[in-house]
């Protein structure tokens, strides 16, 4: 969020100097060739469009893409829930 705070001060006219390139090195780590968010990092989430806009003006990075976690569903558990729901309706 440090870079964002500097940018925010600049666009609000509190600081006359524009921020330098975006610097996500303090909030990102690379694991298995993927850049991911460091746990507990001081960060905020912006849309892909906003990232592309800011990055096209200021440069820098690395880009950190947040993806929803993959949820593994146990088919037997889902079937059991459906069975309970059907039995409840028939009462």
Token pair belonging to 7: 């940018």
For residue 68, what pLDDT is reported?
75
Greater pLDDT, 77 or 18: 18
List C-alpha distances in Å: 25 to 13, 38, 52.
Answer: 26, 10, 18
Q: Is 4 in contact with 43 (CB distance < 8 Å)? A: no
Pairing of strands 34-37, 28-31: antiparallel
Q: Is 19 in contact with 58 (CB distance < 8 Å)? A: yes
Token pair belonging to 85: 């729901």
For residue 36, what pLDDT is reported?
86
Q: Considering the entire predicted model, what is its pTM?
A: 0.66
The secondary element (H helix, E strand) that includes residue 86 is helix 75-90
Q: Is the peptide bond before 62 cis (omega within 30 degrees of 0)?
A: yes
pLDDT band at 86 (very low <50, low <70, confident <90, very high): low
């Amino acid at each position: 969020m440090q870079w964002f705070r500097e940018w925010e001060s600049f666009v609000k006219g509190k600081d006359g100097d524009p921020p330098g390139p975006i610097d996500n090195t303090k909030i990102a780590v690379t694991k298995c060739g993927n850049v991911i968010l460091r746990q507990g990092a001081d960060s905020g989430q912006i849309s892909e469009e906003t990232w592309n806009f800011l990055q096209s003006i200021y440069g820098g990075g690395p880009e950190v893409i947040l993806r929803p976690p993959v949820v593994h569903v146990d088919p037997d558990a889902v079937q059991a829930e459906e069975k309970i729901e059907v039995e409840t309706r028939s009462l």
